[in-house]
Amino acid sequence: MSGETARAMAAFQSSRRYVLAFLIGIVCVLLIFGGSLHDDLGHERIESFGLAFILVGIGGRLWSILYIGGRKSAELVSTGPYSVTRNPLYFFSTIAAGGVGAQTGSLVIAGLSAAFCATAFYLVALREERHLKVMLGAPYLAYLKHVPRFLPNPRLFRDQVEVTFRPEIFNRTLLDGLVFLASIPFFELVEEGQEMGIIPVLFWFH
C-alpha cells in the first residue's frame, strides 16, 4: 500500500459524514418550497411511513458500523451487512433520505430524495472502490465479483461469531443519524410557515 493511496483513502473516509450532512442539507433546502396534494389523513400516513424509514436507516447504519468500525481501509469486511451489499452505510442512508422526503407528505418528494442520494452515493462508491482495489488487492477483487455494489441480496447473508468496534465511531454514527430525525420538527415548522403564508409553496406533489 503506498503512502499516497493510504492518505487519500483516510481523507476520503473522514469526509464521508460531511458528504452525508451536505446531501441531507441540500435535500431539505430544495423541499422547503414544495407542498403535498394529499389530504390530511394521507399526509399523516406518508409522514408515519417516512418515520419508519428514517428509523430503519439509522438502525441499519449503526448495524453496519459495528462491522466496519474504522477497518474499511485496512482489511476486507465481508460479513453481516457487508455480505449482502458492498455499501450498506450508503444503502441505509438512502432509505433514511427517503424517509426525510416523506416528511413533506409527498410520495413523489420521498422518491426523489431517495433517488438523489442513491445517485450521489453510487458515484462516491465507484470512487472509493478504486482506492480499495489497490489497498486490499485480490481478496477485494473476488468480493467485488460476488457481492452487489448497492442493492442488497439477502441470499448472500453470512455472519460471524463476534465483532469488535470502536465506540467513538459508533457514537459518531449515532449522532449523524440525528440529522435524519431532525427533519421531522424541521418540516413541521416548514408546514406551519406555509400555512401562515410566510413560506411560499412554489410547486405541489402527490
User: 13 in a domain, yes or no?
Assistant: no
In a domain, 199, yes or no: yes
> What is the number of structural domains in the chain?
1
Structural domain of 127:
36-205
For the stretch 90-127, pLDDT in tens is 999 999 989 988 988 889 889 988 998 898 888 888 88
* Residue 49 within a domain: yes
User: CATH number for the domain including 91?
Assistant: 1.20.120
DSSP 155: G
Sign of CA dihedral 56, 62, 67, 68: positive
Tell me, yes or no, whether 27 lies in a domain.
no
Residue 70 in any domain: the answer is yes
Q: Is residue 102 part of a domain?
A: yes
* Predicted local confidence at residue 179, as pLDDT: 82
Q: Kindly write down the DSSP assignment for every residue of 78-138, as one continuous string.
A: -SGGGGT-S-HHHHHHHHHHHHHHHTTT-HHHHHHHHHHHHHHHHHHHHHHHHHHHHHH-H
27: confidence class by pLDDT, cuts 50, 70, 90: low
Among the listed residues 101, 15, 13, the one whose alpha carbon sits nearest the alpha carbon of residue 57 = 101
**Is 188 part of a structural domain of the chain?**
yes
Whether the CA torsion 12, 14, 17, 22 is positive or negative: it is negative
**Number of C-alpha atoms within 13 angstroms, CB side, residue 50?**
29
120-165: per-residue pLDDT in tens? 888 888 888 888 888 888 999 999 999 999 999 999 999 988 888 8
Q: Report yes or no on 101 lying in a domain.
A: yes
Cell reading at 157: 447473508
Query: What CA–CA distance (Å, rounded) separates 100 from 180?
Result: 6
Judge whether 56 and 130 are in contact, CB under 8 Å.
Answer: no
pTM: 0.82
